[in-house]
């Protein structure tokens, strides 16, 4: 009797597996590849390297998909484009997805990178009498509003017993902030690589603090919900191509730096300096990562950077779809 039940259970399991496999195969067959895939990227992250290497373009073109790349100066501007449908996929730091959700963007988290806390920092001129984060009280601090350095600045201030209202934020895009920093129009600048590496090597900047022991600083790979749900296999292809590229970049940092130098116009030495503290990697979204994003969202609401509460779980992609 026990043996009969065991055989029956195994048969039921086998049938279930076959049905699930058949359903998945049918879903994959039913998915029509998009005619184009529009990707937002910026100089500071792995999508720029992916574009310069051309491996994703080759993979997409084999499936009849035309790749289209649009460069942005920072994550917030990129996710505004994602929200209005100008791009399908993007990669940003920790904060931009929160601002995007607060603006009612319907996006999903596809995957995340490995922690990169050393790639963003608060810097001051070498000659500045500011010696610690606590000295920033009452000072003018340049940053790109809505970028991940917003969170770094809040955490760094609160660790010293200060609040965001204790400083005078000056919201500027990286290029404008670089000019203001050099001209002495601001007292400090909160910035990320490669701009951080450039100002360290060429701009006579001194680091006050980076994100170590403050925020993990992940790169998040995001898509509009419409695109992710309509073309999950294409989304998977992008993430798998990024996994392969990450391994290559970690094993060939000088080649990666040379490739990024060619595509960005920045000297290879700047990229070598940045990549030395920039490990690459792609991982599945996990509950603890989303919990961290929720803490970030709650912090931004508390300090008044976003006007509404954000439920990060609404941007979760289903476990069945995750790359």
pLDDT (mean) for 99-126:
96
* Contact status, residue 121 vs residue 215, Cβ threshold 8 Å: no
Place of tokens 């610690």: 132
Task: Tell me which residue of 56, 55, 52 sits closest to 89, measured CA to CA.
Answer: 56
Confidence class of residue 228 from pLDDT cuts 50, 70 and 90?
Answer: very high
Q: What pLDDT score was predicted for residue 146?
A: 85
pLDDT (mean) for 62-70:
96
Distance CA 299, CA 214 (A): 13
| 273-308: pLDDT as tens digits | 999 999 999 999 999 999 999 999 999 999 999 999
Task: Tell me which residue of 24, 29, 49 sits closest to 39, measured CA to CA.
Answer: 49
Task: Tell me which residue of 137, 76, 139 sits closest to 102, measured CA to CA.
Answer: 76
Confidence class of residue 160 from pLDDT cuts 50, 70 and 90?
Answer: very high
Helices (H), the chain: 2-30, 46-53, 55-62, 75-84, 96-102, 149-159, 174-183, 195-202, 225-230, 232-251, 253-264, 268-275, 287-303
* Contact status, residue 53 vs residue 180, Cβ threshold 8 Å: no
Q: Is the pLDDT of residue 157 over 50?
A: yes
More confident residue, 265 or 39: 39
Q: Is residue 161 packed enough to be buried (19+ CB in 10 Å), middle (13-18) or exposed (0-12)?
A: exposed
| 68-100: pLDDT as tens digits | 999 998 888 899 999 999 999 999 999 999 999
Q: What pLDDT score was predicted for residue 76?
A: 86
Q: Is residue 69 packed enough to be buried (19+ CB in 10 Å), middle (13-18) or exposed (0-12)?
A: middle
Q: What pLDDT score was predicted for residue 321?
A: 64
Q: Is the pLDDT of residue 30 over 60?
A: no
Place of tokens 């709650």: 298
Instruction: Count the Cβ atoms, other than its own, within 10 Å of residue 279.
Output: 16
Confidence class of residue 124 from pLDDT cuts 50, 70 and 90?
Answer: very high
Distance CA 56, CA 67 (A): 8
Q: Is the pLDDT of residue 114 over 50?
A: yes
pLDDT (mean) for 60-67:
95
Q: What pLDDT score was predicted for residue 264?
A: 85
> Across-strand partners of 221?
91, 111
- Any idea what the Cα angle at residue 112 is, between residues 91 and 154, rounded to 5°? 80
pLDDT (mean) for 45-53:
91
Confidence class of residue 320 from pLDDT cuts 50, 70 and 90?
Answer: low
User: What's the pTM?
Assistant: 0.85
The overall average pLDDT reported for the chain is 89
Distance CA 70, CA 250 (A): 25
Place of tokens 């994602």: 82
Distance CA 224, CA 1 (A): 53
Would you state the structure tokens that stand for residue 17, as one six-digit string?
């597996």
Q: Is the pLDDT of residue 25 over 80?
A: no
Length of the chain: 323
Confidence class of residue 6 from pLDDT cuts 50, 70 and 90?
Answer: very low
pLDDT (mean) for 122-133:
97
Q: Is the pLDDT of residue 267 over 50?
A: yes
| 169-190: pLDDT as tens digits | 999 999 999 999 999 999 999 9
Q: What pLDDT score was predicted for residue 122?
A: 98
More confident residue, 110 or 26: 110
Task: Tell me which residue of 183, 154, 157, 181 sits closest to 170, measured CA to CA.
Answer: 181
CA atoms within 13 A on the CB side of 222: 33
Distance CA 248, CA 32 (A): 30
Distance CA 221, CA 246 (A): 13
Q: Is the pLDDT of residue 51 over 60?
A: yes
Q: Is the pLDDT of residue 13 over 70?
A: no
232-241 in b/e form (b: 16+ CB < 10 A) is: bebbbbbbeb
């Amino acid at each position: 009797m026990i043996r009969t039940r065991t055989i029956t259970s195994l048969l039921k399991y086998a049938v279930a597996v076959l049905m699930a496999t058949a359903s998945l195969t049918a879903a994959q067959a039913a998915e029509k590849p998009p005619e184009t895939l529009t990707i937002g990227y910026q100089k500071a992250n792995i999508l720029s390297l992916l574009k310069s290497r051309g491996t994703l373009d080759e993979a997409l073109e084999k499936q009849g998909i035309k790749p289209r790349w649009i460069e942005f100066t920072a994550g917030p501007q990129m996710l505004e484009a994602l929200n209005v449908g100008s791009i399908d996929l993007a990669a940003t730091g920790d904060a931009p997805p929160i601002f995007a959700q607060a603006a009612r963007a319907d996006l999903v988290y596809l995957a995340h990178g490995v922690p990169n806390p050393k790639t963003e920092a608060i810097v001051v001129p070498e000659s500045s009498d500011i010696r610690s984060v606590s000295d920033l009280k009452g000072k003018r601090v340049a940053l790109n509003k809505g970028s991940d350095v917003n969170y770094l600045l809040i955490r760094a201030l609160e660790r010293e017993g200060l609040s965001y209202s204790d400083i005078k934020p000056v919201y500027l895009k990286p290029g404008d902030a670089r000019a203001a920093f050099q001209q002495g129009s601001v007292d400090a600048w909160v910035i990320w690589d490669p701009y951080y590496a450039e100002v360290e090597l060429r701009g006579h900047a001194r680091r006050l603090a980076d994100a170590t022991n403050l925020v993990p600083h992940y790169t998040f790979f995001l898509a509009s919900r419409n695109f992710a749900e309509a073309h999950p296999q294409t989304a998977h292809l992008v993430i798998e191509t990024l996994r392969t590229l990450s391994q290559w970049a970690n094993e060939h940092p000088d080649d990666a730096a040379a490739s990024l130098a060619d595509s960005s116009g920045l000297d290879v030495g700047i990229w070598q300096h940045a990549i030395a503290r920039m490990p690459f990697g792609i991982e599945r979204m996990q509950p603890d990562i989303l919990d961290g994003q929720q803490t970030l969202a709650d912090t931004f609401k508390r300090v008044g950077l976003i006007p509404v509460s954000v439920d990060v779980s609404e941007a979760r992609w289903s476990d069945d779809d995750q790359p």
